[in-house]
Structure formats: C-alpha cells, structure tokens
Structure 1
C-alpha cells in the first residue's frame, strides 16, 4: 500500500531528507551543498510503502510559477508506483491558480512526467552533474 502525505512534523521532514540524501548524494553523487536549498519555502511530501519511508518530493512557488522538485524513490521501492502516487498528490496539492507548473527532469524520469502531461521544452542541460530537460505541464 502506498500513502503520500504532506509533511507537517520535523520527524517526517528528517525522513524526507534521509531519502534525498540516499538517492541524490549517495547513489547519484550529487554535491551535498546543492541538495539543501529552499527547504523553508517548500511544501514537502513523504511517500510510504507498506508504512515504511519510500520516497520524497516537494513543490515551491518561484518567480516563474510552481516548480516540482526533488522527486526521489529509494532503490528498493522503485517500480511499485511510488513516484506516480507522489506526482498525483503533489499536483492535487498545488493552488487552484497554479497556471505555470514546471520541473527539471532527469532524462531517465521523463517518461513518468510525460504520463502526467508534462512536455519537454528547450535544450538538454546539466544540473548537479546529471542531464536534465525542463518540462512544463500542459493543462
């Protein structure tokens, strides 16, 4: 069973950070100093698979619109629908007036976002040593 909940307690936020550290810093070798920014202005989510922490993500308002970020699923939990459940929950949590919704997708995750009507725009770019495309939600 997958449950995705908006983080309200510090204990949940620590689980979010632990997942992000495992996926981005340890597994993908992202520089730790790039991983921890905008935490105080972001809306964080924790995904549980069979009541155990499995994934994390967030959204925040930027000067361009609403940016979905830091989608991470623990390796042992991949392929079980966790990322899709997180994306559904985050999109439903955005304010009703969220006209422009975007994200920076790692190439390997683009298929997931395309299923939810995101479309790649612009050229490929590198972020934290990983190839990405900007993707925008078509409403």
Structure 2
C-alpha cells in the first residue's frame, strides 16, 4: 500500500519525460490511442507529475483554449490505480488554475467520470468518441 503521494507542476525535460512516459504507457500502449493524437499542445500546456513514494505514478495537464481552461491527459499507471492518485492530480490541477479561470472543462473518459464528479465536474451533452474511446464533456460547476 503506497504511503506518500505527491503532485507537482513540472517543466524541466527530465520530469517532462516521466510525464510523457506515463501517458505513453496508459494512452498509447494500454488504450491504443494513436500517438499523433496523444502528443499535441505540449508547449502551451502546464504539466503535472504525481509520484507515489518517490516513483512516477500519474500525470495530467491544463491549457488555456478559446473556450476557457481545459484539463487533460489524466493518466495513472495501472499499479497505482485505486490509491487516490487520480484525485490528487485533479485537486492539484484545479488548484493551479489562474484566479480568473471562470470556465473549466474536460473530456472525461466514461469510466473516469465518477472521479471528476467528486471534484465538482458535471456532464454536459451526449456521450461522444475521441481517439476511439467514449467520453463526456464535463464542466466545473
């Protein structure tokens, strides 16, 4: 059982490589997302790395879009799922948003919507497919 989970904002190449490795394992390898869809908007995003007992465990990011602030690429390595890493990432990313972030949204995979709902997100609109995976658009209430 993990004892210490930490989430921090990262921007140096070594830490970003850990973020990208987590996303590669979860999205490209595990969920079969096309790599060209996975690696976009990196330079304009603010990235986060979650560690459990010092080991890389999860990743996420946010970026400003035309609509508002979009939370994206929440990924937790399979061996760390069920230990609160996803929730720690959601809390850290929300806490890092600018004070004027009045419209915050994400595209939540169907199986993760319950997690986002715990932190105030609500489904809006119909289910849709993105990168071959079912999602809902969710907005922070």
* TM-score interval, smaller chain: over 0.9
Q: Cα deviation per residue 1:86-120 (whole Å; 9 max; x = unaligned)? A: 11100000000000000000000000000011000
After superposition, residues 27-106 of structure 1 pair within 5 angstroms as 27-106=30-109
TM-score normalised by the chain length of structure 1: 0.99
> For residue 110 of structure 2, what is the aligned residue in structure 1?
107
Cα distance in 2 for partners of 1:137, 1:49 equals 27
Cα distance in 1 for partners of 2:47, 2:11 equals 8
**Where has structure 1 moved over 3 Å in runs of 4 or more?**
none
TM-score normalised by the chain length of structure 2: 0.97
**2:13 aligns with one of 7, 10, 13:** 10
> For residue 128 of structure 2, what is the aligned residue in structure 1?
125
In the TM superposition, what is the alpha-carbon distance from 1:45 to its structure 2 partner?
0.2
Unaligned runs of 5+ in 2: none
Unaligned runs of 5+ in 1: none
Cα distance in 2 for partners of 1:118, 1:4 equals 20
1:23 equivalenced with 2:26 (yes/no): yes
In the TM superposition, what is the alpha-carbon distance from 1:8 to its structure 2 partner?
2.3
> For residue 137 of structure 2, what is the aligned residue in structure 1?
134
Q: Cα deviation per residue 1:17-42 (whole Å; 9 max; x = unaligned)? A: 00000000000000111000000000
